[in-house]
Chain A
């Protein structure tokens, strides 16, 4: 191991007192917000699925899961954090380590992050830096190493800034998906990360272990797809609930998550049978696309849509903090080590619809995804959600709008920040958009 340089390259030194004060205040407010958000979710849907209880418990970031992770760490297990969805979690699972995604959703942490980077930077990144500076996130704090994939510009530098605290493994991701050499480079990156993981954990990733890990995530994908299938008909679950359930996957134990998601699906299937809809079937059906939304604070758009007057319901999304986590399985042909690594590489690189890729056909993959989801889930309108500073998604809006206009699907560009203050203004816009959809449905 390289000796940790005590001199911090980016981050200013904070006194322990300041760190404690800040983190405690955010922690208390965060817990309050989680409780309140869940309360609101329960209130807006009187008929909320009972099996959501498990996910509510998981949603408390300073609750059960934090304890579990600390215990696991004590017992010698390694925790490996990752910043983008491109990190191959199958490899982490195969090495008996725990993968957790550490992008932060705390609004208040952005203000601390502002001490390091300018306010123009994407708030997800500022918030993550802030969370690390005051030791806020239980997952970020317990990570023994962090996989940082160089996707967008902000993410690229975030990994570098975090080297002030934790060992960072950087992975170069090619910005072009559709070429042989890009895939070769990416698979080489996967192989080198495999070595790093083996070195850190001391566990060799064998063929059998990797196969078991892949099958584990495939089963999770199966459960996820079952849930998605249920969201194609009349709504039996509110979009917020489903999004929360899916998002807990990024810090939960994969096997347990799969079991509980299947339980949720069982309950929802009963509802379909009883025609027990969460909202009237003529409620406008909304799809959300754009920048990721992270629990706990950045939950305002789904809340706005599903608490608005007239009410909308989110049936699908295309964001990397929700459906994109689990949409694509690792498809293995032969179960040899080589083929498994190739399969993992392809699943993470080629199946991704992230806006950080460029292609001459205008990110056709993402467009296709949207069209398919719109048709499958019978979507009435699309909300294109962008946080200020997320250049890539903002720039792709024109492209998406053109395609959706041809399909006669209204799309609304909703931009916001990591703040609570603009909720009023956003509410007017969301409501106007939903009114527009209702008018179209009425007609």
Chain B
């Protein structure tokens, strides 16, 4: 083990320890946890922004350095060299933290899935991403999926509710709407359910598209010019979803603002060519972002109802057989419920199952475990949050009016 690796491990230990200590302090200090869920959630969401974007979460994994160009700006961040170039795209985490500007620390699982899916073997120089890494393709896709499943089982869609920066952006829109004292709109139950199903269609579509586009590298013909590995548009076509994702422009904006990325030039490490930051952003990204922003101003957590990444997380935490293994669950005790309907109304993604189900496990794919319902449920112990079958939060006789304004 080299000194660098050791140093990185130490860093991880220090950061991990700090986060745990922080969480512990919060849990002990905040006596009535349920009462402060919303505040706590906002705190966690904001705390994660620098961690994600400035690479402080686990430290950016080392990039293969281009000897001619020296360090990319991002690499001057803390803990740049962990694991060498074994796994240079960073940890796959189910939050919209974009690979394009800040990958190599934590990376959106959607990008990794698409990029590694095809070709998953090391097809030799010029074919697929295998060219740049010393790890092999099956390892990478295995680790991506494995991490994804492990994290989904650990806290499931709480990633969406508590960590995802795009979730924070959606919440920000709610706050902006509240400033103007405008009520939010709601979808009808049926539409909302249909939208929830739509995400799986999106997942299927972009995975298939990424295979088709990935295959052109093997076949040797290009549907569109300059899309072969290493060429100008390659990074677009290997991850088709990312070119419509509304988060990409925001991520770049944040990174540029934080000084972690040069607004005008960025190194393409495979070729050594400098690109402008704007190079990554497609016009589709901007259009979708505009639509989603407008949607989020009208509907609460608009994007989170169709987000394919949330769908993937839900797939590995709310469907059989993962359902049985997932650790973080929302539980309801039937007899305590008088069906007052508060949980249904306050739910930012309009989940109705918590209200409708008789009791027991009510964690469903649409639920992003923000626990607003637990906070607002006025009946003691009716709703419970269970971590590994242990109750960590439960609804209480809420006694003070909720100060959400």
| Cβ of A69 under 8 Å from chain B | no
Point out the residues of chain A lying under 8 angstroms from B68, CB to CB. Answer: none
Can you name the residue of chain A whose Cβ is closest to the Cβ of B342? A331
B339 touching A371, Cβ below 8 Å: no
Choice from A180, A215, A222, A328 contacting B189 with Cβ under 8 Å: A180
Inter-subunit contact A368/B404 (CB<8 Å): no
Interface string of A333-347 (1 = CB under 8 A from B): 111111100110011
**In this complex, which of B183, B339, B379, B398 has the most chain A Cβ atoms within 10 angstroms of its Cβ?**
B339
Q: Are the C-beta atoms of B340 and A336 separated by less than 8 Å?
A: no
Q: Which residues of B contact A338 (CB under 8 A)?
A: 183
Say whether A331 contacts B376, CB under 8 Å.
Answer: yes
Please report the C-alpha to C-alpha distance between residue A375 and residue B338 in the assembled complex, in whole angstroms: 15
Residues in B whose Cβ lies below 8 Å from that of A331: 340, 342, 345-346, 376, 378, 398, 402
**Chain A residues, CB < 8 A from B400:** 218, 222
Q: Do A346 and B335 touch (CB < 8 A)? A: no
Closest to A367 in B: B335
Tell me the bound Cα distance from A346 to B398 in angstroms. 17
Query: Is A329 on the interface with B (CB-CB < 8 A)?
Result: yes
Asked whether A368 and B405 contact (CB < 8 A) given A329-B398, A333-B346, the answer is no
Of residues 276 to 294 in B, which have CB atoms within 8 Å of A's CB atoms? none
A328 touches B376 (CB 8 A): no
Interface size of A by CB at 8 A reads: 38
Closest chain A CB from B402 CB (angstroms): 7
Q: Which of B183, B338, B342, B398 contacts A368 (CB 8 A)?
A: B338
A225 near B397 with CB under 8 A, answer yes
Separation of A342 and B184 alpha carbons in the complex (Å): 12
Among A183, A334, A343, A372, the one with the most B-chain Cβ atoms within 10 Å of its Cβ is A334
Which residues of B (40-72) have their CB < 8 Å from a CB of A? none
Please indicate the chain A residues that have their CB under 8 angstroms from the CB of B346 in the complex: 331, 333
Assess the A337–B345 pair: CB atoms within 8 A.
no
Rounded to whole angstroms, the CA-CA distance of A222 and B400 in the bound complex is 8
Contact of B339 among A327, A333, A342, A350 (CB under 8 A): A350
Cα–Cα, bound, A331→B340 (Å): 9
Q: Is the CB of A368 within 8 A of B337?
A: yes
Asked whether A126 is an interface residue with its Cβ less than 8 Å from the other chain, the reply is: no
Chain A 324-376 residues near chain B, CB threshold 8 A: 327-329, 331-339, 342-343, 346-347, 350-351, 353, 364-365, 367-369, 371-372, 375
Q: For chain B residues 336-365, which have a beta carbon within 8 Å of chain A?
A: 336-342, 345-346
Instruction: Output the least CB separation between A213 and chain B (Å).
Output: 11
Complex contacts, B372 vs chain A, CB 8 Å: 333
Q: List 12 A-B contacts (CB under 8 A).
A: A222-B397, A328-B378, A331-B346, A331-B402, A333-B346, A334-B178, A334-B183, A336-B183, A337-B183, A339-B183, A350-B341, A368-B335
Which B residues lie at the A interface, using CB under 8 A?
178, 181-184, 188-189, 334-342, 345-346, 372, 376, 378-379, 397-402, 404-405
5 closest Cβ pairs, A-B complex: A338-B183, A351-B340, A331-B342, A350-B341, A222-B399
